[in-house]
Amino acid sequence: MEKTKVGIIGLGTVGAGVARLLLDHGDRTARHAGRVLWLEKAVVRDLKKARDCELPSGILTDNVDDVINNPDIEVVAQLIGGIEPARTIMLKLLKAGKDVVTANKALLAEHGAEIFDAARELGRSVAFEASVAGGIPIIANIGQCLSANQVTSLHGILNGTSNFILSKMQDGDDYNTAVAEAQRLGYAEADPTMDVDGTDAAQKLSILAHLAFGARAQWKDIPRTGIDKLQVADVEYASEMGYKIKLLAVADLVDDGLELHVSPTLLKAGSPMAEVNGPFNAVRVDADAVGRLMFYGPGAGQMPTASAVVADMIDTAVGRTKLTFQTLELWSNRPARVSPADYAGARGRFYLRVNVDDHPGVLAQITKALGESGISIASVLQHESTSPGEPVALVIMTHETTEAAAAKACQTIASLESVRTAPVRMWLRD
């Protein structure tokens, strides 16, 4: 049987999973690829560190040049996180004639143009299924299976850490307890900032927006709010009104372009996206021919991510990736097919929570502020005060309005004398 020699750079959690699939299940990859994927070299920083996989002797090296300069290695899984040295190694691999597979979404979101241009110029390919939504094959589904469609809307729960934390808060934990639990179970890093502040989801969304819409969105330009300021009170009020809060990455094609944002969002309980719990991811895709599809699965973790990486390695070894790669619109120099829509004009419903002094006339002031912004109220919830003198929470669900109108109304409300803190505002979707 033919043999394709492959290398792995970085034997962390995912890298070790990839090595195990290649070494322990060679029959499987051979069957699907019609050839053996032969692990020739695995590069690590520290040769002495204990690892989560057993390697035959001669494979492990701490010199990345053993892969870059080995002309027999055709496909490389580049599994180093962060920007450098990942970027430099990536470009060297491409220049050395390797096809590359990666799970590094931050690198693609930051330096996609440079990397994809280099790959195209050198006639190489970059496969990146594992960079978005972990084990869910969303890249293949959008880039290939939906090619007869114009995607019109893409809503994703793309950050498993945030979703785990939100699920715990749904069960009654406060934010800090939920974060600690996520860290204990390995769902959150020691510093979870990039996950909980919406950065990770925005980076993934920018990749999907390139792929599905031919957009040229930079992740830094995507308006994003994380879950790091979310209070358990809001989770409880949402729940009381029949909603669950999810960190939703949204790409909607509207009249004036592509609306992109990452926001904590109230979703109607019982709707498929609202019921995605724990560290799972889900992507809902609306497209003009097929209608609505939904994909659900593990958003991270060693073997789900390794599953995506090895599928990419097989596709690359077989030659499929090269055929797909040439027509993908990822950071291509073709003109963008869609421009970003102005976030201020984004239409939708909102959840507002205002902490107010329990005085007569406060509700009237607030509804007046909303009315002046042209916002009409769909429902209001205010419980009786349990501790006199303390502010009470006023929860309002609006009818459809714009982001700008909602922001303006909240500004006015925040300036009212009876209002203690800036209103909490979130998108609301049925």
User: Is 356 annotated in some ligand binding site?
Assistant: no
For the chain, the maximum distance between any two Cα atoms, rounded to a whole number of angstroms, is 83
- What does the alpha-carbon distance between residue 80 and residue 90 come to, in Å, rounded to a whole number? 10
Cα-to-chain-centroid distance, residue 336: 22
Outline where 25-76 has alpha helix (H): 26-33, 65-68
Cα-to-chain-centroid distance, residue 80: 18
Q: How far is the CB of 307 from a copy of itself (least distance, A)?
A: 4
Q: What is the strand order of the sheet 60-61 is part of?
A: 60-61, 36-43, 3-9, 73-78, 99-102, 126-127
User: Is 105 annotated in some ligand binding site?
Assistant: yes
For residue 137, whether the previous peptide bond is cis, meaning omega lies within 30 degrees of 0, is no
Q: How far is the CB of 122 from a copy of itself (least distance, A)?
A: 18
Q: How far is the CB of 213 from a copy of itself (least distance, A)?
A: 12
Q: Smaller CB distance to a copy of itself: residue 228 or 329?
A: 329
Residue 232 CB partners (closer than 8 Å, separation 6+): 169, 172, 173, 174, 175
Q: Smaller CB distance to a copy of itself: residue 148 or 190?
A: 148
User: Is 143 annotated in some ligand binding site?
Assistant: no
Q: Smaller CB distance to a copy of itself: residue 166 or 328?
A: 328
User: Is 21 annotated in some ligand binding site?
Assistant: no
User: Is 16 annotated in some ligand binding site?
Assistant: yes
Look up residue 369 and give its two tokens.
């502020």
Q: Contact residues for a copy of itself (CB under 8 A)? A: 17, 21, 25, 28-29, 31-34, 129, 135-137, 140-141, 144-150, 270, 272, 275, 287-298, 301, 303-304, 306-311, 314-315, 318-320, 323-324, 326-327, 329
Q: Smaller CB distance to a copy of itself: residue 129 or 234?
A: 129
The yes-or-no answer on residue 204 being catalytic is yes
89 — phi, psi (to 5°)? -65, -45
Q: Which of 41, 98, 168, 204 is catalytic?
A: 204
Give the CA radius of gyration of the chain.
24
Q: How far is the CB of 278 from a copy of itself (least distance, A)?
A: 11
Q: Which residues are annotated as a binding site?
A: 9-16, 105, 189
Q: Which residues are annotated as a binding site for L-homoserine?
A: 189
List, by residue number, the catalytic residues. 204
